[in-house]
Amino acid sequence: MKKLKRTSGIILSLIMMLQLIIPCAYAAGNSVKIKTEVITSADTSISVEVQSAITGGFMKIIELPSGEEYNPSNFFNYTSLSEIIGYASVKEGYNNVSLVKTPTLGNKVMAVLRDATSGTMVEYTSEPITVTEQDNSNFIAIKSANITSTDTNIEVSVKQAITAGFMRILEIPSDEEYNSSNFFNYTALATVGFASITAGNNTVSLDTSPTAGNKVIAVLRDTSTTPLTEYVSETVTVTTGSGSTSGNILDNCSAEIVMNGKTNFSVSDTSAVVNVKLDESLTDGVYMTVFAYPGNTAFDSDSIANKRLYSGLVHNEDSVNCEFAASNLPLKAGYKIIACLNVPIGDDNYRSVVSQAYEVLDENGNGAPVYDYPHINIDETTLEAGATSLHLTLTGDERLFNNDKITINYCLYQYPKDEVFDLEGEYMIPLLSVKAATGEFTSEKVTFTQPLLEDYRVRAIVYWSQDIESFVPKGNDYEGEADNSVLIRAATGVSVSFNTDKILSRSTVIPVNISGEVPNGSILLLHSFTGDTYTWLADGNLLVANKTNLTAGNNQSITVTNTDNLITGRKLIALILSSGSVIAQSEPIAIEAAPMQLPTISINEHEITTGDLNAKLITSFDSRADNAVYTLYKYSDSIEDGTILASKTCYRSGNETAYFKSGTTPLTAGDKIQAVLTVNYASSSETVYSNIITVTESPAWDTPTIAIHGEYITPDTTKITVTSTYDEGYLSMEGYYCNITLYQIPIDKDTSDEFWEQQWAERVGTVQNTRGEAEITITSTLKAGYKLVAKLRLPHIEWEGEEVDYISMPTYILNEGESIPKPIVLLYNLGTDTATGSRLTNVLENLNIEVKNITGDLLGEEVGYLAELDGFEASGEPYTGDSFDTQFMLMCNLGEALLDKVLAGMKENNVTVNHKAILTQYNRYYKFYELISDIQDEHKEFQSILALDKIIKEGEALNEADYTAEKWSAFSDMLTAAQNTLSAEAASYEDYLGAYCNLRKAIKSLSDITDYTDIQKSMSLVTGSTTAEVAELIIGYYKDGVLLELNRDTVNGDFTYNLSDVEGATEIKVFLWESINSMKPVCEAQAS
């Protein structure tokens, strides 16, 4: 919400406008466009292009479920990926939008612009882009096919621009693989700061020529993430000479714009003639695009600044009359016109061949404007160490400062005099936070808290963003410019030094000498640091001691206040500060090792119960040990015969949480728990034991629940009824408490991850120490369109001092004038003429819930219409598609408390319906047949998971000693693969089925049992029989264990099935799915 504070008045006005303006005109997606071609689940920003600025309204980035079309009436119900962007911040052209929530894999992202400039709200939407998984494999690539020892630049493609970090072109020996830890040791051919890196192609000038025989690699480090993210290209081997190859495909391709004696285009031109020549191998032709691009920049076919004038397929010797797209006419003065051939030179590898470029001039013969770009200088020619201020002068073209589409920033750094100025260098020290420049200034004084350091250099830089329409490229005044930094010389005055040549890591007092006239109020600091050079305010500096009221004198005893920061191998330095500036510092001195610390380990628990999954440990050992390994055991008689619960290598003392291994829980009451710590030194080790804790029984209590009565309420509701359930044992716990709190939150907000800590969650009522049904008085005004959620907080039954929260399903607060929908259950294939339907109807009618049986002609209606919700109407057309044999029930508008009663009634009356769902804010827009189909697919996938889990348990129960090593090894690999598939987050139905097949075959192979699921490729026919009314036959075609194709068909009775001729398949697996609980191989399958 921080971004909204500065524009709260704008946002409030927008909200009032939305309440007042009811009609909304909707336009096609031609005014706003998402320019980020690929959006991933890890993205934190996207690029949006707006054709024209607005003077009223706003823009927002939203996320839609993958199967849903955008509905304007649900605008505020969709998940918001960005803050609302007020009209004042919506720029014509390119907008970089920061996301407050990362996109969800598989969902769709849209930009929605609501323009109130005319007084009537007009909505413009972009085309949706489906969110994909982030692929870093080709994030950066060297596009230069050949690199030679005489090259002075190379082409590098970057998938997405970064907001912090840098890129380096490195040269590594031919026999080495790239090692990230040697990043700063490799020869750097070029370094590019983040401000100069653009999405798409980048032409990088080389500072050093490549060496023939070595390899060139591009490495991009994004420091906006923690830890930093590194992207690495493939390597290209350097060859001798110019690197050009005569007679290749590219050399034989050309495009020539026919000018007929003209030297330029005019703004009134609407077409161009292009002559094309192609290599004789390109018989299918290539695609040619004619672009207009800003004339003061180098052409880049991937640039967002390009305007596409013409695109089409061309062939050799074509002379193409290219009519320019009307949407990009008239031509703009200052642009250049160029033709670009997209030439294939290999599988999925294309290179551009471009024509000559001609500038567009206006009627006065003018093209792109010429600018005096910004430049900043330090006025002082000499600076002394310890100074905390200097003066700057900034010059530049007034048109740039007055252009509100351009951001001009400047900053100030100091760095060691022997290093090069590199924004991403680890040695760089910022002196001034980034400041925006609104115009030229002369001798402006700037101050900073970081003092200037002796033998460092200080430099000011300025950089600016691009404005395509004004022909201003992104740039700066330091890349390729003369070094205008100033050397910092030594200061005179106070000095400080150590009165010892040895500092031990366990020292409690350190002797220090101070000389000179020490200013009043000065402070002495002792810092430990790593490396050879100390940098003031660096993150790695650790405070060891400090002292005030300083006087000159030798051998002054300084008491160490942080002994843990006296770390062996680091160095210690003494500093004297006056008015926040460093006026003196000592030579550093190495910190040497102190005597060894005796190791200890203890279990930090009052008790451990059978339900515990971890235990808290405290370890202590000398920091100079190589490492320490703790092992936690459970045993009944002797620890030597115990079972390992957890084990971990530690590299420092402190608190540890030992998580019990899979298969070791639940614990058994009466078992003993003890930890063993083994500390390893360079040439020895030492072992110690912890205290012993005996395991006790854990409470066998049901999981607590909390439910709000009713799925909908009106804004004028003053009291809410809730039902909480939890075991009576809570009441007898020492320190028992129970808190139930009601929160109202925006409908698009998630109720996970401690949502009540968020600013948008408002507490509207609470009740203490109650159990069962209770009434809560609403203490704040309820907001229409929000949702109400109850939180039940109880103490943890096993972990002392911890508490557990339980969250209800939401109840929705209706808008003004809306009525509360009645509870209703929709049944399909569950009429009273069926045994299940009859019993289910009795359960529902006893709870006063209306029952509606859905017939086949209604399958095409929207779920919201069938549930009798406001705003839904009948389609007016009967359903003519396929019907379903599935029994299905949809529970609508019940609320959590009533839903619990329905499920309890079904259980009590032995009513089982395998396919059921509840009405949600999303599925109400489904057609009824679409919802049934989705539920069927989910159910089938769930059953395949159960089948895989069952056969994994069968495999885990086998004993290795019963089989040969060769057979067990093959089986073990399949078991591990199946376990990995079962635990994978993104596994599919086909993945589960394939893992089941492979593991079943492996189990059978242990006992030399032929598994008839494996059918040789020579077979062409499958025969079988089933007693089920309808069964599903599943045919998988494999090569070397990899699934090539999966076919399905429904069968009944005696059946035959013709196998397909799948190219490359060497193995076929056949399964018959007879019911939700039965998946078996077709053992009758045979060749024919």
Q: Is the pLDDT of residue 21 over 50?
A: no
Name the token pair of 614: 């971890």
CA dist., res. 59 & res. 124, Å (int):
9
The answer on 749 and 665 residing in a single domain is no
Q: Decide if 147 contacts 210 (C-beta within 8 A).
A: yes
CA distances from 421 to 164, 171, 222, 236, 940 (A): 16, 21, 19, 28, 61
Q: Decide if 886 contacts 936 (C-beta within 8 A).
A: yes
The answer on 584 and 529 residing in a single domain is yes
Q: CATH number for the domain including 203? A: 2.60.40
CA dist., res. 383 & res. 456, Å (int):
10
**Amino acid identity of 518?**
V
CA dist., res. 253 & res. 339, Å (int):
12
CA dist., res. 88 & res. 431, Å (int):
32
The answer on 224 and 261 residing in a single domain is no
User: Minimal CA–CA distance to 741: which of 706, 697, 696, 786?
Assistant: 706
Residue-level pLDDT at 647: 95
The answer on 124 and 9 residing in a single domain is yes
Sign of CA dihedral 100, 105, 107, 108: positive
**Structure-model confidence comparison of residues 782 and 1046, the more confident one:** 782
CA dist., res. 94 & res. 305, Å (int):
9
Mean pLDDT over residues 339-350, rounded? 83
Grouping H, G, I as helix, E, B as strand and the rest as coil, residue 962 is helix
**Amino acid identity of 342?**
N
Q: Within 10 Å of residue 522's Cβ, how many Cβ atoms?
A: 19
Q: Decide if 216 contacts 154 (C-beta within 8 A).
A: yes
Q: Within 10 Å of residue 707's Cβ, how many Cβ atoms?
A: 23
Question: Which helix (H) or strand (E) element contains residue 1014?
Answer: strand 1014-1015
Q: Is the pLDDT of residue 9 over 70?
A: no
The answer on 465 and 350 residing in a single domain is no
CA dist., res. 608 & res. 603, Å (int):
10
92-150 pLDDT, tens digit per residue, is: 888 888 888 889 989 999 999 988 777 777 889 999 999 988 777 788 999 988 898 88
Residue-level pLDDT at 347: 65
Name the pLDDT band for 412 (thresholds 50, 70, 90).
very high
**Amino acid identity of 848?**
N
Angle at 69 between CA 67 and CA 74, to 5 degrees: 115
Residue 1022 lies in a domain: yes
Residue 965 lies in a domain: no
Grouping H, G, I as helix, E, B as strand and the rest as coil, residue 1027 is strand
Q: Within 10 Å of residue 430's Cβ, how many Cβ atoms?
A: 14
- The tally of domains found in the chain comes to 9
User: Minimal CA–CA distance to 621: which of 653, 664, 663?
Assistant: 653
Mean pLDDT over residues 406-420, rounded? 93
The answer on 847 and 916 residing in a single domain is yes
Name the pLDDT band for 745 (thresholds 50, 70, 90).
very high
Q: Within 10 Å of residue 877's Cβ, how many Cβ atoms?
A: 9
The answer on 17 and 114 residing in a single domain is yes
Which residue is it, tokens 């040497």?
Answer: 592
**Amino acid identity of 312?**
G
Q: Select from 639, 673, 696 the last residue of a domain.
A: 696
Q: Is 387 exposed, middle or buried (0-12, 13-18, 19+ CB in 10 A)?
A: middle
Residue 554 lies in a domain: yes
Residue 1078 lies in a domain: yes
Q: Is the pLDDT of residue 6 over 50?
A: no
Q: Give the whole-number percent of the chain exceeding pLDDT 70.
A: 92
CA dist., res. 428 & res. 458, Å (int):
10
Residue 974 lies in a domain: no
- Domain range for 1079 is 1012-1088
Name the pLDDT band for 1015 (thresholds 50, 70, 90).
very low
162-185 pLDDT, tens digit per residue, is: 878 889 999 998 888 998 878 877
Residue-level pLDDT at 28: 39
Kindly give, in sequence order, each residue whose CB lies less than 8 Å from that of residue 1088, ignoring residues fewer than 6 positions away.
Answer: 1019, 1020, 1021, 1023
The answer on 126 and 154 residing in a single domain is no
The answer on 309 and 263 residing in a single domain is yes
Any bridge partners for residue 853, and if so which?
827
Task: Give me the DSSP letters along 881-927.
Answer: S------EEEEES-HHHHHHHHHHHHHHTT---SEEEE--TTGGGSB
Range with the lowest mean pLDDT among 36-40, 602-606, 737-741, 982-986? 982-986
What are phi and psi for residue 132, nearest 5 degrees? -115, 170
CA dist., res. 75 & res. 648, Å (int):
50
The answer on 98 and 14 residing in a single domain is yes
252-266, 525-539, 977-991, range with greatest mean pLDDT = 252-266
The answer on 469 and 552 residing in a single domain is no
Residue 500 lies in a domain: yes
Q: Within 10 Å of residue 508's Cβ, how many Cβ atoms?
A: 12
**Structure-model confidence comparison of residues 1012 and 758, the more confident one:** 758
Residue-level pLDDT at 328: 93
Residue-level pLDDT at 241: 65
Q: Select from 569, 592, 615 the last residue of a domain.
A: 592
Residue-level pLDDT at 742: 96
Q: Within 10 Å of residue 393's Cβ, how many Cβ atoms?
A: 15
Residue-level pLDDT at 1085: 32
Residue 989 lies in a domain: no
Name the pLDDT band for 34 (thresholds 50, 70, 90).
very high
CA dist., res. 126 & res. 453, Å (int):
53
Mean pLDDT over residues 691-707, rounded? 89
Q: Decide if 429 contacts 414 (C-beta within 8 A).
A: yes
Mean pLDDT across the chain = 85
Angle at 695 between CA 692 and CA 696, to 5 degrees: 140
CA dist., res. 819 & res. 870, Å (int):
8
User: Minimal CA–CA distance to 479: which of 193, 165, 153?
Assistant: 193
CA dist., res. 316 & res. 314, Å (int):
7
Grouping H, G, I as helix, E, B as strand and the rest as coil, residue 253 is coil
Q: Decide if 49 contacts 94 (C-beta within 8 A).
A: yes
Residue 368 lies in a domain: no
**Structure-model confidence comparison of residues 117 and 600, the more confident one:** 600
Strand order in the sheet with 685-696: 608-609, 685-696, 672-680, 627-635, 643-650
451-504 pLDDT, tens digit per residue, is: 899 889 999 999 999 888 888 888 898 887 778 898 887 765 788 899 998 898
Q: Over the range 107-121, which residues count as b (16 or more CB within 10 Å of their CB) and which as e?
A: bbbbbbbbbbeeeeb
Helical pair 928-956 and 965-983, crossing angle rounded to 10 deg: 150
Residue-level pLDDT at 896: 80
CA dist., res. 645 & res. 310, Å (int):
69
In terms of phi and psi (left: phi > 0; alpha: psi -120 to 50; beta: otherwise), the region of 142 is beta
The answer on 115 and 11 residing in a single domain is yes
Q: Decide if 299 contacts 338 (C-beta within 8 A).
A: yes
Name the token pair of 87: 């009209």
